[in-house]
Structure 1
Amino acid sequence: MIRDFHRAKGGALLLGAAGPGLTGPFGAYGAAVRDDGDMEIEVLLVDNCAHEKAAVAVLRRALDDAGLKKAAFTTRVIADQAEAERAGFTGSPTFLIDGRDPFADPDRPPGLACRMYRTADGGLAGVPDAAELRHALEVSAGLEPGPSPSPPRPGDLSGG
């Protein structure tokens, strides 16, 4: 279920349609429709996620800091284990950029759980650091990345 729309595109709501070459609710969505640097960005959540507002805020900040102020994103609730497995969802919130989780841990199985992210000082937070998310967005958009966030660390953690 798509929970929210976060931008108008061409005067119409962006409905989180599939992607280039795929079919959405209004027909084919071709690559020519996408703006320069435009990406499919989605925040996956469990229902009533305690970090939903923080996730949306950190994503908006990272997009703005990357110069992607017009970029759209959707939020989607993952309702059950089967949907978690189909989406590769390993905890709430999960950020997908063009269908890829930039914070993925290949050893973590899909499931309905809270997700924790390591902070630069080694602590834990319910959302990733804005600089790390900005860096992932810049790389995916083909932009010249700004200063790199802290050195790569082991993946984030999921908790119950």
Structure 2
Amino acid sequence: MDITLLYFEDCPHWKVAAERLSIIAAERDDVRLSRHLVETPEEAERTRFHGSPSIQVDGVDAFAAPGAGVGLSCRRYPTPDGYEGAPTLDQLRAVLTDEET
């Protein structure tokens, strides 16, 4: 399973997502983790970048709502504790479990 963290430097939330994804990758032998720095609006369009951080599993944004826009912005995720800048470990684990079925 290929997981790509898409981000842009001006958003601090990508570092939290990177830490959490590193934990997931250490737990699972089937995960290949990479990062992709998105630098221009054109690249955001091309990569279907829904804000920083975005997490793609096998090329598909695992958390994008239907009709979500693309662009260079910070992204917020609904979590059990309110909106945060990155999904929780449990949310990431749940998405990856869903991908397997």
The alignment's TM-score, normalised by the length of structure 1, stands at 0.57
What is the distance in 1 between the residues matched to 2:24 and 2:90? Answer: 7
Matched residue pairs, number? 101
Residue 112, structure 1, aligned to residue 72, structure 2: yes
Q: Which 5+ residue runs of structure 2 have no aligned equivalent?
A: none
Q: Which has the higher contact order (CA 8 A, sep 6+)?
A: 2
Q: Which 5+ residue runs of structure 1 have no aligned equivalent?
A: 1-38, 144-160
Instruction: Determine the structure 2 residue equivalent to 1:127.
Output: 86
Residue 136, structure 1, aligned to residue 95, structure 2: yes
What is the distance in 1 between the residues matched to 2:74 and 2:35? Answer: 16
What is the distance in 1 between the residues matched to 2:35 and 2:25? Answer: 15
Instruction: Determine the structure 2 residue equivalent to 1:43.
Output: 5
Q: Secondary structure at the match of 1:114?
A: coil
Residue 101, structure 1, aligned to residue 61, structure 2: yes
1:33-58: CA deviation from partner (whole Å, max 9, x where unpaired): xxxxxx11100001243123211111
What is the distance in 2 between the residues matched to 1:63 and 1:138? Answer: 13
Conserved 8 A contact 1:62-1:131: no
Q: Which structure dedicates a bigger proportion of its chain to helix?
A: 2
Larger Rg: 1
